[in-house]
């Protein structure tokens, strides 16, 4: 097991290295240099330009600059935002809990609805229920996220007035930042009205972000269930006289879950992709929204640092899923 863990961890080192190279290259591939982008349209006198280039270390050779960059990254220094003048890592860490909170509830919804839906579809194969679940999940899978968000806002926020249109909590509440998770912080403060407000702000974005993972999980559960239900041990369990429910829940589900767990782990990248759109539409103060603002305002340190951090998270989660998978399934360990 230890060797398996070591091997997997060693495998991600070159990937991480590649990501830093990509983030580093980003700044140099953009037309014009960062100093030029700083100076705006008025231009800059050559002496000042040369001084700034030297200050940013941009007058040195590329390998030197890259080594310098890696040194900074390893010390947790990802540069300063050009718009807010805050350290990029600091900004990311402040906003990240909002994205995690949103993604967590999106994934929770996807699993809580997707798993039973997929199981139901598999049990009632080729019936109306099966077609309904599969049709809905295909539609969910094909859904343009931003449009889906607008439809839900139009229906539930504008016409029915059930949920707020955007933001994370009503302006009236002032919740002290402790964990950064709004639901936790409001509960810690004992402010239940604020908690309700935060919850009502969370509902629509979580549904929007959870839709595609839900569809994927439902489809995967169904096909994995169908495969398992064909196995001999299921027939044996039925022959023993066990109820259908017991066979499904005890014998089939456990084995059917293995590929589903992998798929759930793989949703993390998808969730972060979806978060970019969802957060933009709902003005959710998270990492996705921040990144888009960074791109739109040409705040390159933010884009560079954000890409590096998001990729690191995806790589780490994938590694975690890999390791977990090795725990569940010993065959993988020795492959």
Partner 1 sequence: MPDVAADLVLPPQLAPSRWREFRASYAQNRGAMVGVALIALLVFCAVFADVISPHPPNQQYRDFTLAPPAWAAEGTTRFLLGTDPVGRDMLSRLIHGTRLSLAIGLVSVAISLSLGVVLGLVAGYFRGLTETVIMRVMDVMLALPSLLLAIAVVAILGPGLVNAMYAIAIVLLPHYVRLTRAAVISEAGRDYVTASRIAGAGRLRLMFDTILPNCAAPLIVQATLGFSNAILDAAALGFLGLGAQPPTPEWGSMLSSALEFIQRAPWVVTYPGLAILVTVLAFNLMGDGLRDALDPKLRR
Interacting residue ranges for partner 1, rule: CB under 8 A: 14-15, 18-19, 21-22, 26, 29-31, 138-139, 141-148, 150-151, 154, 158, 269-270, 272-274, 276-277, 280, 291-292, 295-296, 303, 307, 310-311, 314-315, 318
Least separation, in Å, of the C-beta of 22 and partner 1?
6
Nearest alpha carbon to residue 214 among 134, 136, 111, 290: 111
User: Nearer Cβ to partner 1, position 202 or 271?
Assistant: 271
Residue 80's DSSP bridge partners are 87
Decide whether 236 or 295 has the Cβ nearer to partner 1: 295
Q: Which is nearer to partner 1, 109 or 212 (CB)?
A: 212
Taking alpha carbons only, the member of 161, 179, 148, 176 closest to residue 282 is 148
Q: Which is nearer to partner 1, 97 or 294 (CB)?
A: 294
The alpha-helical segments, DSSP class H, found in the chain are 2-29, 34-39, 46-55, 62-74, 88-123, 128-141, 145-152, 182-189, 192-229, 232-239, 244-246, 253-281, 287-296, 300-328, 330-333
Residue-wise DSSP of 136-163: HHHHHHT--HHHHHHHHIIIIIIIS--S
Give the shortest CB-297-to-partner 1 separation in angstroms: 11
Quick one: 64 or 158, whose CB is closer to partner 1? 158
Residue partners of 294: CB distance under 8 A and separation at least 6: 81, 300, 302, 303, 306
Q: Which residues pair with 87 in a beta bridge?
A: 80
Nearer to partner 1, 90 or 318 (CB): 318
Provide the minimum distance between the beta carbon of 296 and partner 1 in the complex, in angstroms, as a whole number. Answer: 7
Least distance in angstroms from the C-beta of 203 to partner 1: 19
Cβ 177 to partner 1, closest distance in Å? 26
Positive or negative CA dihedral for 317, 319, 324, 325?
A: positive
Q: Which is nearer to partner 1, 195 or 284 (CB)?
A: 284
Of residues 179 and 316, the one with the C-beta less far from partner 1: 316
Rounded to 5 degrees, φ, ψ at 87 are -60, 135
CB of 17 to partner 1, least distance (A): 9
Nearest distance, CB of residue 176 and partner 1, angstroms: 32
Buried b or exposed e, range 195-206, using 16+ CB within 10 angstroms: bebbbebbbbbb
CB closer to partner 1, 155 vs 243? 155
Within 10 angstroms of residue 174's Cβ, the number of other Cβ atoms is: 9
Measured between alpha carbons, how far is 132 from 147 in angstroms, rounded to an integer?
A: 22
Spatial neighbors of 109 by CB under 8 A, at least 6 apart, are 206, 207, 210, 214
Q: How far is the CB of 11 from partner 1 (least distance, A)?
A: 9
* Closest distance of CB 334 from partner 1, Å: 20
Given a contact cutoff of 8 angstroms between Cβ atoms, the answer to whether 252 and 120 are in contact is no
């Amino acid at each position: 097991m230890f060797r398996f863990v070591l091997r997997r961890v060693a495998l991600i080192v070159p990937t991480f290295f590649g990501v830093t190279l990509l983030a580093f290259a980003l700044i140099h591939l953009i037309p014009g240099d960062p100093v030029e982008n700083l100076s705006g349209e008025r231009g800059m006198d050559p002496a000042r330009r040369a001084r700034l280039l030297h200050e940013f270390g941009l007058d040195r050779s590329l390998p030197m600059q890259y080594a310098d960059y890696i040194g900074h990254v390893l010390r947790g220094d990802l540069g300063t935002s050009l718009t807010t003048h805050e350290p990029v890592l600091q900004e990311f860490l402040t906003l990240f809990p909002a994205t995690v909170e949103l993604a967590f509830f999106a994934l929770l919804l996807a699993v809580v609805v997707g798993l039973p839906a997929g199981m139901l579809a598999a049990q009632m194969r080729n019936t109306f229920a099966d077609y309904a679940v599969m049709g809905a999940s295909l539609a969910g899978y094909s859904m343009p996220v931003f449009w889906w968000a607008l439809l839900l806002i139009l229906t539930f926020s504008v016409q029915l007035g059930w949920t707020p249109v955007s933001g994370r909590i009503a302006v009236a509440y002032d919740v002290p930042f402790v964990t950064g998770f709004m639901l936790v912080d409001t509960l810690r403060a004992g402010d239940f009205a604020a908690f309700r407000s935060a919850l009502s702000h969370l509902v629509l974005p979580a549904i929007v972000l959870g839709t595609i993972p839900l569809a994927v999980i439902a489809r995967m559960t169904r096909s994995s269930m169908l495969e398992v239900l064909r196995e001999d041990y299921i027939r044996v369990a039925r022959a023993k006289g066990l109820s259908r429910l017991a066979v499904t829940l005890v014998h089939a589900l456990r084995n059917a879950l293995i590929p589903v767990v992998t798929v759930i782990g793989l949703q993390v990248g998808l969730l972060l992709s979806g978060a970019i759109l969802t957060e933009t539409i709902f003005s959710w103060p998270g990492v996705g929204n921040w990144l888009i603002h960074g791109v739109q305002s040409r705040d390159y340190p933010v884009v560079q640092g954000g890409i590096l951090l998001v990729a690191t998270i995806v790589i780490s989660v994938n590694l975690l899923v890999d390791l977990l998978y090795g725990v569940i399934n010993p065959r993988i360990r020795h492959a």
